[in-house]
Amino acid sequence: MPITNQNLWRANANNNFIGSPLNDDLHSDLVIVGAGYSGLCAALHAAEQGMRVRVLEAHTVGHGGSGRNVGLVNAGLWTPPDEVETTLGHVAGNTLNYALAAAPDLVFSLIEKHQIECEPLRHGTLHCATNNAGLRQLTQRLAQQVKRQAPVTLLGASNTQQRTGSRRFLGALLDPRAGTVQPLSYALGLAQAAAKAGAVIHTQSPVLTHQHNGKHWLVNTAHGSITADKLIHATNAYDSLSPHSKAFTRVDYVQFATQPLTLQQRASVLPNGEGCWDTNQVMSSFRMDKSGRLIIGGVGSLDGRGKGTHINWAHRKLRALFPQITHYKFEYMWHGHIAMTNNHLPKITQLGTNGIRLYGYSGRGIGPGTLFGTAAAKWAFNGDEHPLPVAITNPKPETYTHVKASYFDMGATLSHWLSCRF
Ligand SMILES: Cc1cc2nc3c(=O)[nH]c(=O)nc-3n(C[C@H](O)[C@H](O)[C@H](O)COP(=O)(O)OP(=O)(O)OC[C@H]3O[C@@H](n4cnc5c(N)ncnc54)[C@H](O)[C@@H]3O)c2cc1C
């Protein structure tokens, strides 16, 4: 099969969810815009608390980042925990760090509770050092994690080679709290669980406007409307309602999946199934899926002029990491948008009376989206802001978001053009 512009996760999803478009004028306690992890976890938990919940999704469940990501269920953010505390202050930073450290527990317990078939594998993740600077970075991260009693360990080069099957790394930070999932199947399973709990999910129903009329939220689609007491706006990087809000910088990330490797090949690449990413400034990732496909990812987009460069990079990267894989074909390639905030921290902003917006996971949204959505349901239920992992702030546009997006795009293309050539 030749490589196609197709998302592997969509092609082999374990679950299905077919909602119906909104074609009526209805009332609910809570309306949620966006059916990714954030919106679906909010819907599931609010419905479980007895709220009448409607979700409006512009396309299909998992159309956004939740159906396109790498599937690494990480504990914490990209931003090291000390930096989180410096940015938010000790108490708020500490609260967010501890909540996110437990986010994989939340994800894997939801999977267990609702029996979601999404290839869950909790064998840890490896953050791999590509050079001495990367190794120093990992040593600092290790110290910060150990200070917080996190069970992470720094592996040496030979141990890293044994686990990854690649000689390219000087070491790796192993985080056993983390793991991998089939990301779209996780989203579809959440949708099934939310619907079972009583939430109604309308797909193919793009929200055109939402406003508070002093009494209720009024949310309009082309063929219907919903009035509701509370609103959660959970569109993250895929927001079609306010695409010019400058709330974050959009960064694209592209992935390539091989055909299922042979048993012999599989024995020599990630035999234990950890999900991996590296310390390069222009980061890349690699993991296996359940059927033995090797998936390589990096910053970049398949739209526009960089496409050929990214495809060539993926081949060179695979051969550089795993020269033992002499015969392979890429069969799938796809990309998605990441919502990157200035300080790389997720945000909850006020959206008028009784409305909030969750966004800005900055490339780490499986655990955080699950956590933020779950906490937002508690807020919707009783208005209590206490369970939210970050304080609600007023929206503040970020500066130069378009310039930064182009910078990331061009930087990634240049880096991929140069990388693994020598
Ligand atoms: C390629 C890639 C790799 C990533 N890798 C990882 C990873 O390995 N680990 C990790 O933790 N995170 C990763 N992330 C980040 C993670 O996928 C996201 O942070 C997370 O999925 C965000 O979930 P969400 O529910 O907030 O938003 P989304 O999943 O993006 O959902 C938003 C939804 O809102 C809908 N929408 C938008 N506008 C409207 C409208 N007007 N009306 C109705 N609906 C609307 C969209 O169609 C979309 O379905 C990655 C992201 C990408 C793109």
Of 310, 260, 243, 263, nearest in space to 282 by CA: 310
Atom of ligand 1 nearest to the CA of 335: 1
Cα–ligand 1 centroid distance for 173 (angstroms) = 26
Name every residue whose Cβ is closer than 8 Å to that of residue 65 and which is 6 or more positions away in sequence: 36, 236, 237, 238, 336, 337, 338, 339, 361, 365
Q: How far apart are the first and last CA of the chain?
A: 30
Q: What is the pLDDT of residue 421?
A: 64
Check pocket membership of 39 for ligand 1, CB cut-off 6 A: yes
Cα–ligand 1 centroid distance for 186 (angstroms) = 13
Which residue has the least CA distance to atom 32 on ligand 1?
235
Cα–ligand 1 centroid distance for 208 (angstroms) = 19
Provide the pairing of β-strand 200-202 with 72-73: unpaired
Taking the C-alpha atoms of residue 170 and residue 185, their distance in angstroms, rounded to an integer, is: 34
Check pocket membership of 346 for ligand 1, CB cut-off 6 A: no
Q: What is the pTM of this model?
A: 0.97
Q: What is the pLDDT of residue 3?
A: 81
Q: What is the pLDDT of residue 408?
A: 85
Q: What is the pLDDT of residue 422?
A: 54
Q: What is the pLDDT of residue 245?
A: 81
pLDDT one digit per residue (tens) for the chain, 422 residues: 778 899 999 999 988 899 999 999 999 999 999 999 999 999 999 999 999 999 999 999 999 999 999 999 999 999 999 999 999 999 999 999 999 999 999 999 999 999 999 999 999 999 999 999 999 999 999 999 999 999 999 999 999 999 999 999 999 999 999 999 999 999 999 999 999 999 999 999 999 999 999 999 999 999 999 999 999 999 999 999 987 789 999 999 999 999 999 999 999 999 999 999 999 989 999 999 999 999 999 999 999 889 999 999 999 999 999 999 999 999 999 999 999 999 999 999 999 999 999 999 999 999 999 999 999 999 999 998 988 999 999 988 888 888 888 888 888 888 888 886 65
Check pocket membership of 59 for ligand 1, CB cut-off 6 A: yes
Pocket probe for ligand 1: among 66, 217, 296, 362, the residue whose CB has the most ligand atoms within 8 Å is: 66
Question: In the numeric block, which tokens belong to residue 293?
Answer: 């496909």
Atom of ligand 1 nearest to the CA of 72: 8
Cα–ligand 1 centroid distance for 337 (angstroms) = 8
Check pocket membership of 252 for ligand 1, CB cut-off 6 A: no
Domains (ranges, CATH) in the chain?
8-418 (3.50.50.60)
Name every residue whose Cβ is closer than 8 Å to that of residue 358 and which is 6 or more positions away in sequence: 38, 42, 232, 233, 234, 236, 346, 347, 348, 369, 372, 373, 376
Question: In the numeric block, which tokens belong to residue 157?
Answer: 């080069």
Check pocket membership of 235 for ligand 1, CB cut-off 6 A: yes
